[in-house]
Each structure stands twice: as structure tokens, then as C-alpha cells.
Amino acid sequence: MRYKKIPSSLFIKNRKNFKNKMSTNAIAIFTSNDLMPTNADDLMGFAQNNDMFYLAGIDQEESVLLLYPDAELSENREILFVKETNDLIKIWEGDKLTKEKATEISGIKNIKWLKDFEITLQYMAFEADTFYLGHNEHKKSATVAMLTQQDRMIKFCKEKYPLHNYKRAAKIIRALRQIKTEEEIELIQKAIDISIGSFKRVLKSVQPDKMEYELEAELTYGLIKKGAKRHAFLPIIASGKNACALHYNTNDNICKDGDMVLMDFGVCYANYNSDTTRCFPVNGKFTKRQKEVYNAVLHCLKEGSKLLKPGFLPTDYEKQMADLVEEQLINLGLLNAKEVKDQDPKNPLYKKYFMHGTAHHLGLDVHDVGLYSRPFEPGMVLTCEPGIYISEEGIGCRLENNILITQEGNVNLTKAMPIEIDVIEVLMK
């Protein structure tokens, strides 16, 4: 592993919390993600199913977790099934988890080989009344066009045990994952700390006529060297007008003298993620107009962050953040105050320059699971990311911090990442 061992107590606690929410006499089943192919015999890098990792800490393919709190035999209340290795696998792929190592990581004592899953389940299934099965219920799920391991498990169970009750594991785990433990916050902070060092490395390498992908290379070097597993998502290195495309990530243009770069990137460390955005001038010095736009966005970030507090509804937060950006757009001369006052509230004028939401949960997923109808609570980690995009001027600016909500107020986990104009310009000298 690239990361330090996570105490198994975290996963033991997570399973306990999940089991406490299950109905009586029910079995819950969680699967690992698939290894995804590219072409021919090649594969993409493995990314674990985050519910599986949350409950067991297992970062290996072909794994299944079975929870049956009311099982008659105590050893059957938690069973982890992992892939059995052999000499051929060792030669081609290296070591896989032993039963002893799986117990050490997860805290689960009953470890079986995956080939024994179906017969083990059959011995217990007819004693149970209900199955909890996992599924990707994220509203922006990208798996709608493919059959996942979770889909195959649902199909298998319903075909073999059609008369059982079926419930959604996601409904429980989505609520649990929104509130981060101290251990999880430390892992998110580690990802952020790595991102801070990588960002400073990029600032020292920027100069006119460099390619955007050269900055991406500096960013990648910095985060991998410090033990990150990967980028949390494809990094956005958008110079000039490219910054007005919200999810631009081809990163294949020249960084021109006089332009500003928008860099939106995240670090994945121990499966936990950071997500930050910073902007900086290619030549090391902001123009007057770039400063105006930048300071307007920075004002919205600072004021908007104050709204991330216990009891505040996400919808109210987004409305007040939009009001903050709208005010700054008027100050920048991009909107007319009278026209704004008379605008159609269903089609606000600010949408021309500000088109996205400004807060999402952060954790095992970059856009972490959770319901946005739920008020903010202590233990939640969210982004705050206002932006202003002026395509006619070739200026796009977004600034993003990661915020931990506590009972005493919020904590800016990204406070050490340079953001003030004078600090950035000094670092770029």
C-alpha cells in the first residue's frame, strides 16, 4: 500500500453503525468494483467500491462482504470473501491478500475464499428474511450504461432468492458516510496536504509558452512522490479562455503571456480525496482586470464559507452564494443593477457568468454521497467553490476550499494552500 495502515477500529466502528440501522434478521452484501478493461489485454487502474472500503478497508478486486447481525452462529455475523491466490497469480500480479492480512486490515475474523461465497450464502439465506444490497445511487452516476458487479449481485440474489424482501443498503450508508470520523478527517487532510505541496511546485514552474500538460506533469510528479494513489479526478489545467469551460481537461494548449490559469485538481490518498481550485497568472503578475475578477471571487469564497454551519440548508446556502456572486457581477460592470432588480427570477441574469453549484460533500468520493435536503451537521466536509466566467474577456476564475463543519464553527482544511494575490505573486517570482 502507498498509504499508512488505517486502524481496523475505523472499519469495525463503521460496520457497527451500519448493522445498527439494519432491520431484524437481514443480510447485507457488498461487492468490490470490477477491473475495467481498456483494449486488447490491458486494464485501467483499480478503484475500489467505496462502500466496500468504508465497511472493510479492503482495497482489492474480487472481494465480497457479508453482514448478518442476527446469525445464529457468531462467526457468521461478519464474513469477508477474498480472492484466493496461487503461484501463477503471484508470478504475474504479485501478492494478494492472505486471510490473516485481510483480518488485520478489516478486523473481520471469518475470512473465506471467494469461491465459497455462494454455498456459504445458501446455508444462511433461508434463515433470513431480508437482503440489503448495494447499488450506485449517486444522482450523477456514470454507470447507467454498464453492468457492474453490484448489478450482477442484485440479479443473482433475486433470481436465486426471489421471495425475500429487498432493501437498499445505500439508504443507510449514504447517511453514515456524510458524517466523517476523526480518522477520515485526518486522511482527507493528508490528501489536502499533498495537494498543497504539488500546487506550490506548479507555481514555481509556470512561465509563458509552457503547455498546460507540462503544468499537469509537475502537479502529478508532486502528488505521486508524496504517496498519493492518483489524481482524485482528471485535473483541469485551463489557461485563458479555456477556463470558461467548466470541465475542460484536455490540457493541451499553450499558456500565453498575460493569461490566467485555472487549476482545479484533487488528490486521492488512501481512497480519500481533496478537491481544490486555484488561479494564477502565467507571467507571475495579475493584470488589473484579473485582480478585479479574482478578488470578487475571493470575496464570495470568504463570505460564502461562513454559511457552511450546522443547521443551514444546502438550498439556502446556494441561494445566498448566488446573491454574493450576483452582487460582485454588478460591481464588475457585467450586470446592470436595475436589470437585475427587474429580472425573471426563474432565469437570473447571473447565470451567464456563474452556472454551477458551490458546495458538494467530499470524502471517499470527490462528489461524496449524501442527500442535499439534509441540513449541514458537524462532521460534514464540503467544498466551497464560487466562480466567475467571462468568455468575452477570456477570463475564468474559480476558487475552491475544503471546509469541515464543527459545532464551534467551520474549519478551512485548505488554509495552508496559497490564495491571496500577493502571496501567489511572491511564490511565482
Domains of the chain, by residue range, sit at 8-174, 182-428
- CATH code for the structural domain at 182-428: 3.90.230.10
**Whole-number pLDDT of residue 143:** 59
Query: Pick from 219, 259, 221: which is nearest to 239 by CA?
Result: 259
List, for residues 193-229, the tens digit of each pLDDT value: 999 999 999 999 999 999 999 999 999 999 999 999 9
- Residue 381 pLDDT > 90, yes or no? yes
Average pLDDT over the chain, rounded to an integer = 95
Q: Which three cell numbers stand for residue 355?
A: 452556472
Question: At CA 102, angle to CA 98 and CA 108, rounded to 5?
Answer: 135
Question: Which residue is associated with the grid cell 487549476?
Answer: 263
Question: Which residue is associated with the grid cell 457492474?
Answer: 148
Answer yes or no: are the C-beta atoms of 113 and 81 closer than 8 Å: yes
Q: Which three cell numbers stand for residue 359?
A: 458546495
Within 10 A of 52 (CB to CB), how many other CB atoms are there? 23
List, for residues 179-196, the tens digit of each pLDDT value: 999 999 999 999 999 999
CATH of 8-174, one of 3.40.350.10, 3.40.640.10, 3.40.50.720, 3.40.1410.10: 3.40.350.10
Beta strand extents in 157-253 (DSSP E only):
165-168, 230-231, 236-239
- Cα(343)–Cα(278) distance, rounded to whole angstroms? 32
List, for residues 49-91, the tens digit of each pLDDT value: 999 999 999 999 999 999 999 999 999 999 999 999 888 888 8
Question: At CA 93, angle to CA 85 and CA 229, rounded to 5?
Answer: 115
Answer yes or no: are the C-beta atoms of 276 and 400 closer than 8 Å: yes
Its pTM stands at 0.95
Question: At CA 134, angle to CA 131 and CA 136, rounded to 5?
Answer: 150
